[in-house]
Each structure stands twice: as structure tokens, then as C-alpha cells.
């Protein structure tokens, strides 16, 4: 009988080690990477080192409602870690029958994360996801009751580990021993733990503007709240300027200095009137190379209209609009 496990792969080292441990016991392992709009990692990174296939599953639309009212609250920022894990594990359970698999493997380590990997949270996630003993955490298995895979003899409990706490030296040594070199650093994988991104996201929630298209905008530029129904994003470099032009949607405005002047592309979104168009132009001018000029010509257009308008505006001192910065 061929036994098959689904390993939840984040792109970090722990999930790769967990998958490899189970694969080394003769179990067929298929990686599952759940894609959410706030993860900076490529879940496929490092999987070539352990020789498994990875399937990407989109959870973007399912994830957004968690941000409005997470049942188990947020972590240090706007990270609903427990609700996020429950969502992913619940979806993984449904994939078992679809992919003809027998159990689920994760790389969680007891005590590694204060919110989602303490003993109480790990037990809560296991129960609320409905996985119960279908869930195996190989890196800390010695601290938990035997899972179904262990009780059925599909894997040997003696070959599972007892990692505990936040020290990662044992994982790094194990990776070197197993020849795993491609993996993401443990910190910074989720934008929801980033102070600047969380502040911008909280502002979107405040004005009820939460959607996937607007979330992508949060990842780049300087952000300004012009009024309750309009905001402005100013590019910080050529790459961001190009991205803003690509991300402009019908109804958005793009602002930019003339070709002789180095400066940003800015994108405004929302309900714009003449005064807000002028304010957006002034902010764009203030981040341009004004060479001592008090006024600068700024062009703008309303997407998808191809007509470009231009006007001269005052170059405001940044102190005049920093109160609008998000």
C-alpha cells in the first residue's frame, strides 16, 4: 500500500525539513503552498533540494474576510496568525480526498512563534481545522500524542524529532546534513507583521477599501490620504514608477513631471475633484528635481483616457503635507 502525505510548504526551512523527514521514511510527499496576498515567499523555493512536487493553492479571496474580524485576534500587528492557520489547515483537509492522500504534515515547531506555536494555540488549530490526528508535526512530534500516521505504522515515531523553542541552530545543522541550501530566512515572510504595511492596511480597513487590487498598491511607494474618498501613491524610484503605471485602473489618475524634469509617477485613486488634482500635482512636484524652482509643470491623465493635461503648480515644502502621509 502506497502512503501519501500532503506537506504544507511555506518556503521557510522548517516546512522543508518536515517534508524531507517524512519522505525519507518512504512516504510519497506532495507539497502544498497556500498563496495569500501578504506572503513575500515563493513556496516552491528549496523544494528541488528535497525532490517533491509543490502545488500552489490560491487563498486570496478566502483570506480577506479574516482581516475584518479574526475570531482569535491579531498578533503584534495585523497578523491573524491563528485564524490563518485554521483556514489553511481546513483547506488542506479537503485536499486529502481530492489528492488521494492519507495525512497532513507541517513544519511547526513548539514554542517558535509566540502567538501561533505555543502549545495551546497548536492544539486549538489542530481541533478547529478538523484535522485532529490526521495532522503530523514531525519537528516537534515527541512533544505530542502519536498522530494517525504513527499509530498506523506509516511513519516511525523514533525517527521524528523534539525541536522546541526559538533557537534555529538544530534546523540549520539538519539542513546542511540533508543538503538543503535554498530556503527563505525565518523573518519577514509575512507583510502583515511589517509595521509600515500594517499601518497602511489598517487605513484601508478604516475607509472600507479592502480588496485585492488596493492591497497590491500598499506594497510600493509613499502613501497619502487626500480625503475620506481619495488617496495618492507616489513612486520612490523608476521601478515603482513603472509599477504604478501598470497598476493604474479605470478611474485612477496618473501624475508626472515633464520629460526634462526627474521625478516620480504618482497614482491617485478615489473620488477626485479639481482641488485634489492640484494637491496631487503639488505633492508630485515636491518629490521632483525642482532645481530651486518655486513652480513646476505637472502633467496628469485620467485612466483610460489618453488625453494628457498639464498645469503649473507650487512646489510645496514637505512639511505642508506630511500630515497626510500614511
- Domain end call among 190, 212, 243: 190
Q: Is residue 3 classed as helix, strand or coil in its secondary structure? A: coil
- Domain end call among 190, 209, 234: 190
Same domain, yes or no: 90 and 225: no
CA 116 to chain centre: 16
212 burial (CB, 10 Å; 0-12 / 13-18 / 19+) is exposed
User: Is residue 129 one of the residues assigned to a domain?
Assistant: yes
Nearest of 153, 220, 157, 168 to residue 191 by alpha carbon: 220
Same domain, yes or no: 78 and 178: yes
User: Is residue 105 one of the residues assigned to a domain?
Assistant: yes
User: Is residue 197 one of the residues assigned to a domain?
Assistant: no
Contact 93, 99 (CB under 8 A): no
Same domain, yes or no: 156 and 261: no
How far apart CA 70 and CA 80 sit, in angstroms, is 6
- Domain end call among 144, 172, 190: 190
Same domain, yes or no: 184 and 245: no
Same domain, yes or no: 170 and 117: yes
Same domain, yes or no: 249 and 128: no
Q: What is the pLDDT along the chain (326 residues), one digit of tens a residue?
A: 799 999 999 888 999 999 999 999 999 999 999 999 898 777 676 677 888 999 999 998 899 998 999 999 999 899 999 999 999 999 999 999 999 999 999 999 999 988 999 999 999 999 999 999 999 999 999 999 999 999 999 999 999 999 999 999 999 999 999 888 888 776 557 899 999 999 999 999 999 999 988 999 999 999 999 999 999 999 999 999 999 999 999 999 999 998 889 999 999 999 999 999 999 999 999 999 987 788 999 999 999 999 999 999 998 898 999 999 99
Cell 545543522 found at: 173
Q: Indicate which CATH number applies to the domain containing 163.
A: 3.40.50.620
Same domain, yes or no: 91 and 183: yes
Structurally, the chain folds into a number of domains equal to 2
User: Is residue 201 one of the residues assigned to a domain?
Assistant: no
Instruction: For residue 314, give its domain range.
Output: 220-324
User: Is residue 202 one of the residues assigned to a domain?
Assistant: no
| Helix (H), strand (E) at residue 103 | strand 103-105
User: Is residue 228 one of the residues assigned to a domain?
Assistant: yes
Same domain, yes or no: 114 and 244: no
Same domain, yes or no: 135 and 174: yes
The predicted-structure confidence for 282-300, as pLDDT tens digits, reads as follows 999 999 998 778 899 999 9
Cell 495569500 found at: 36
138 to 13, 41, 79, 145, 270: CA distances (angstroms): 13, 22, 25, 12, 49
Edge-to-edge strand ranges of the sheet holding 295-302: 222-227, 230-234, 266-270, 253-257, 295-302, 309-314
Same domain, yes or no: 225 and 183: no
User: Is residue 111 one of the residues assigned to a domain?
Assistant: yes
Same domain, yes or no: 235 and 281: yes
DSSP 105-126: E----BTSSTTTSSHHHHHHHH
**Residue 140 CB contacts under 8 Å (≥ 6 apart), including other chains:** 108, 109, 110, 161, 162, 163, 164
Residue 32, beta-bridge partner list: 8, 55
pLDDT given for residue 46 in this prediction: 67
Q: Is residue 199 classed as helix, strand or coil in its secondary structure? A: helix
Contact 39, 189 (CB under 8 A): yes
Same domain, yes or no: 52 and 135: yes
1 to 138, 210, 261: CA distances (angstroms): 22, 48, 70
User: Is residue 211 one of the residues assigned to a domain?
Assistant: no
Amino acid at each position: 500500500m502506497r502512503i501519501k502525505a500532503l506537506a504544507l510548504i511555506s518556503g521557510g526551512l522548517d516546512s522543508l525539513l518536515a517534508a524531507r523527514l517524512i519522505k525519507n521514511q518512504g512516504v510519497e510527499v506532495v507539497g502544498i503552498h497556500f498563496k495569500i496576498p501578504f506572503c513575500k515567499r515563493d513556496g516552491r523555493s528549496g523544494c528541488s533540494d528535497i525532490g517533491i512536487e509543490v502545488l500552489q493553492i490560491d487563498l486570496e479571496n478566502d483570506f480577506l474576510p479574516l482581516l475584518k474580524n479574526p475570531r482569535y485576534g491579531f498578533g503584534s500587528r495585523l497578523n491573524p496568525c491563528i485564524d490563518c492557520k485554521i483556514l489553511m489547515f481546513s483547506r488542506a483537509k479537503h485536499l486529502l480526498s481530492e489528492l488521494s492522500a492519507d495525512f497532513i504534515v507541517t513544519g511547526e515547531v513548539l514554542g517558535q512563534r509566540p502567538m501561533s506555536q505555543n502549545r495551546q494555540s497548536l492544539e486549538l488549530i489542530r481541533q478547529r481545522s478538523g484535522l485532529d490526528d490526521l495532522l503530523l508535526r514531525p519537528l516537534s512530534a515527541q512533544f505530542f500524542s502519536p498522530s494517525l500516521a504513527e499509530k498506523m505504522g506509516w511513519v516511525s515515531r523514533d525517527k521524528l524529532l523534539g525541536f522546541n523553542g526559538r533557537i534555529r541552530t538544530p534546523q540549520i545543522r539538519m539542513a546542511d546534513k540533508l543538503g538543503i541550501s535554498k530556503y527563505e530566512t525565518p523573518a519577514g515572510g509575512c507583510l502583515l507583521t511589517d509595521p509600515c504595511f500594517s499601518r497602511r492596511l489598517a487605513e484601508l480597513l478604516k475607509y472600507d477599501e479592502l480588496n485585492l487590487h488596493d492591497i497590491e498598491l500598499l506594497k510600493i511607494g509613499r502613501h497619502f490620504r487626500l480625503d475620506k474618498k481619495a488617496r495618492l501613491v507616489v513612486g520612490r524610484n523608476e521601478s515603482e514608477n513603472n509599477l504604478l503605471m501598470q497598476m493604474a485602473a479605470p478611474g485612477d489618475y496618473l501624475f508626472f513631471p515633464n520629460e526634462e524634469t526627474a521625478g516620480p509617477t504618482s497614482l491617485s485613486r478615489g473620488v477626485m475633484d479639481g482641488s485634489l488634482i492640484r494637491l496631487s500635482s503639488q505633492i508630485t512636484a515636491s518629490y521632483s528635481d525642482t532645481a530651486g524652482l518655486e513652480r513646476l509643470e505637472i502633467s496628469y491623465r485620467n485612466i483610460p483616457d489618453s488625453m494628457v493635461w498639464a498645469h503649473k503648480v507650487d512646489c510645496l515644502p514637505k512639511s505642508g503635507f506630511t500630515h497626510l502621509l500614511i
